[in-house]
């Protein structure tokens, strides 16, 4: 524990003085074009692998084989599905706004392709004799650029739901708006503590500031908040409320088919890769090897092309987490979902940012032991937790109940309502007529049973 605190102390003391490590001074137009094409190819290939990976993992969790026919281990199943969407009939809703209807999926895909431009995949390497970092670009506010791309990308979902001119897509678009507002606030607040610790918003500098220790350890609450928020940000189970098939058929994609539907599908999986890459860069040391491997040969595994392997391993670890959650957690109710975002995640993220800011401020203006500060914060959180548990939980006033002897009228509100436990429906007029006809004597005169109507 003392060694861990010493590493945290060393990281806090040196993070603000770390220079920006990405040097693009030797790049030319061909290198930029090569990097951009490589990023797009990486994303498209990763989406095909991610779809196959998700099907296989969920199938194993449900004791099924999963895709295993097309290609070795079913690897070509995703490619076959993509070709099927490409050649299917493209149906356009007659009442839709044609321009926005077509533009919405393109907005979603275009914004999702922009995020990885500022993510470092590795250190400087030689590409055709040019020494360049494995990163397309970087600037002092790169993380804000990532958040901006994610925010603009939701316009594709909202506009797709609105332009379809249908009820279920409109509800899905409205839900996606509320979801992004709720969970992007928590996501942004969880990243503020990383900015305070590293002293920069540049992705390359944040990776370089994690040389002594990955920020996921000293900033564990922020890391947990980010992981929960990124699942809600990407509309994945248990937070897939905008496209809940049990409630909204398909949400904002209900009226889309063929390649326009494939664009939305592609954007969802690219966004999963994006948030996984951001989590890897900001909390898990980026492309740096884990501790046992980073100590081999004086850090030789953190040079050359090896770091790309560590980066991809961390990203696919988060992708497995996405699939694991989908296969084991049920969908939230909408009120539970919004309560978690506004009443739990955002207040917790604000409280954690205040604690980190206080620690950084005290350490800059006073010579205080880091261990003492951490113990004081832990004691404060323990007291708040105990007080929260001790407080009585407020309950909503229960609606007035009907008396047992009071008859239940299913049409009291103007539309039929099923009876609650303990309530019984009034006798059916049709059943009364059938009983009267059965009980009528065979020789007696025929009598008409008055029909009960409402």
pLDDT in the model for residue 381:
67
Helix H, strand E, coil C: the string for 232-294 is HHCCCCCCCHHHCHHHHCCHHHCCCCHHHHHHHHHHHHHHHHHHHHHHHHHHCCCCCCCHHHH
CB 170 within 8 A of CB 179: no
pLDDT in the model for residue 368:
67
pLDDT in the model for residue 454:
44
**Largest Cα–Cα distance in the chain?**
111
Distance CA 173, CA 252 (A): 6
pLDDT in the model for residue 452:
47
Q: For residue range 335-344, what is the model confidence (pLDDT) as tens digits?
A: 888 888 888 8
CA distances from 20 to 12, 87, 178, 208 (A): 17, 47, 36, 8
pLDDT in the model for residue 402:
54
User: How many residues can be counted in the chain?
Assistant: 454
Q: For residue range 108-159, what is the model confidence (pLDDT) as tens digits?
A: 899 999 989 999 998 888 888 888 888 888 888 899 999 988 888 888 888 8
Please measure the distance between the N-terminal and C-terminal CA atoms of the chain and give it in whole angstroms.
77
Q: Block means of pLDDT (10 residues each) for the chain, length 454 residues?
A: 45 46 78 91 91 91 86 86 84 83 90 90 85 87 90 87 85 84 88 88 89 85 90 84 74 84 89 92 88 71 85 93 88 83 87 85 72 69 70 60 64 72 74 76 52 47
- Statement: the pTM of the whole predicted model exceeds 0.85: no
């Amino acid at each position: 524990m003392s060694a861990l605190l010493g590493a945290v102390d060393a990281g806090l003391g040196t993070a603000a003085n770390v220079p920006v490590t990405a040097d693009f001074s030797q790049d030319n137009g061909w290198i930029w074009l090569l990097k951009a094409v490589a990023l797009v190819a990486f994303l498209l290939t990763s989406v095909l692998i991610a779809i196959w990976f998700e099907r296989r993992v969920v199938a194993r969790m449900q004791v099924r084989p999963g895709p295993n026919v097309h290609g070795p281990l079913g690897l070509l199943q995703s490619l076959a599905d993509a070709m099927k969407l490409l050649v299917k009939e493209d149906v356009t809703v007659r009442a839709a706004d044609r321009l926005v209807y077509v533009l919405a999926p393109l907005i979603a895909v275009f914004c999702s392709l922009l995020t990885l431009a500022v993510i470092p995949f590795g250190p400087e390497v030689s590409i055709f004799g040019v020494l360049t970092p494995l990163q397309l670009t970087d600037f002092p506010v790169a993380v804000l650029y990532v958040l901006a791309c994610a925010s603009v990308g939701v316009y594709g979902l909202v506009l797709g739901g609105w332009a379809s001119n249908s009820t279920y897509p409109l509800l899905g678009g409205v839900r996606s708006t509320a979801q992004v507002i709720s969970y992007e606030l928590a996501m942004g607040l969880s990243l503020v503590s990383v900015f305070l610790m590293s002293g920069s918003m540049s992705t390359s500098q944040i990776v370089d500031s994690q040389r002594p220790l990955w920020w996921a350890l000293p900033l564990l609450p922020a890391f947990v908040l980010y992981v929960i928020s990124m699942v809600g940000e990407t509309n994945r189970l248990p937070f897939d409320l905008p496209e809940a098939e049990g409630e909204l058929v398909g949400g904002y994609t209900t009226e889309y088919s063929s390649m326009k539907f494939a664009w939305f599908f592609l954007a969802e999986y690219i966004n999963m890769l994006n948030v996984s890459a951001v989590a890897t860069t900001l909390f898990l040391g980026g492309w740096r090897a884990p501790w046992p491997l980073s100590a081999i040969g004086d850090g030789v595994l953190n040079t050359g092309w090896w770091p790309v392997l560590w980066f991809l391993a961390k990203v696919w670890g988060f992708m497995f987490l996405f699939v694991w959650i989908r296969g084991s957690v049920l969908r939230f109710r909408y009120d539970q979902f919004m309560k978690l975002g506004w009443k739990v995640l955002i207040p917790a993220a604000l409280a954690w940012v205040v604690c980190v800011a206080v620690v950084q401020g005290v350490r800059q203006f006073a010579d205080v032991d880091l261990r003492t500060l951490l113990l004081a914060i832990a004691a404060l959180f323990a007291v708040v937790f105990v007080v929260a548990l001790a407080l009585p939980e407020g309950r909503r006033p229960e609606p007035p109940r009907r008396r047992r002897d009071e008859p239940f009228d299913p049409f009291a509100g103007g539309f039929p309502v099923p009876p609650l436990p303990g309530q019984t429906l009034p006798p059916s007029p049709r059943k009364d007529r059938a009983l009267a006809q059965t009980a009528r004597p065979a020789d007696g005169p025929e009598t008409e049973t008055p029909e009960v109507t409402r």
